Amino acid sequence: MKNLSEKMKLFSQIDLYPVISSEFTNGRDVIEVLQQIAAGGAKIVQLREKKLSKAAIYQLALRYRKITADNNMLLILNDHLDIALAVQADGVHLGQDDLPLTAARGLTTQLILGSSTHNLAEAKQAIADGADYINIGPIYATQTKQLSYDSLGLETMHQVAAEVDIPFTVMGGIKEHHLDKLINLGARHIAMVTEITQAADITARVRQLRSHW
């Protein structure tokens, strides 16, 4: 089992950051989607299920862990620190309304802790509270989350990124035609949902998207 330092070294090398939700797979089984993502060469995946029971997410996470381990991929769970610990995932991604980062770090010193942030103040607070990486978003309007705030746009993303000294991901409404501009602005780790999981050929899509790096 890798320690946190080893996990973060792998995290620093990721490019595309696929996020899988069963709501956005065009009816395909999420395990099939994950297998195709792995075949495309992605080095990380996030299990994000908002409508399944905790028991169902645990069983799913066990299957994700086997596939990601076999493919040397980092496995991040959205929201559920307890399940991440139970299946020996590599990390957990917490939102502003989830378990506070300080409490999460008190329970584990070996999981990668990611935090969703939507402005500079939240980003700075996440860093102070012990986040290993932050997500900045939503960059563009998105249909995969019900939000009470507007998309940030490139200028805000750039402003936040310039002020943080830990790895950051970006997410929210990102399509392939956005990638080159985001990468040129310094976004090295780009999270995407439907652009990947709703593709007709997911493996080919992952390879194509990763070619932008």
Q: What is the pLDDT of residues 25-65, one digit of tens each?
A: 999 999 999 999 999 999 999 999 999 999 999 999 999 99
Return the pLDDT at 141: 84
Return the pLDDT at 146: 59
Q: How far is the C-alpha of 33 from the C-alpha of 24, rounded, in Å?
A: 10
Mean pLDDT across the stretch 130-145? 88
Mean pLDDT across the stretch 4-14? 97
Return the pLDDT at 147: 56
Over the chain, what is the mean pLDDT? 95
Q: How far is the C-alpha of 98 from the C-alpha of 104, rounded, in Å?
A: 10
* Side chain identity, residue 140: Y
Mean pLDDT across the stretch 64-71? 98
Instruction: Specify the pairing of strand 133-136 against strand 112-117.
Output: parallel
Rounded to the nearest 10°, the torsion over CA 54, 59, 61, 67 is: -170
The structure's pTM equals 0.96
For the chain, domains (ranges, CATH) are: 4-210 (3.20.20.70)
Return the pLDDT at 28: 97
Q: How far is the C-alpha of 32 from the C-alpha of 124, rounded, in Å?
A: 38
Q: What is the pLDDT of residues 76-134, one digit of tens each?
A: 999 999 999 999 999 999 999 999 999 999 999 999 999 999 999 999 999 999 999 99
Tokens at 176, concatenated: 């392939």
The DSSP call for residue 21 is: -
Return the pLDDT at 144: 63
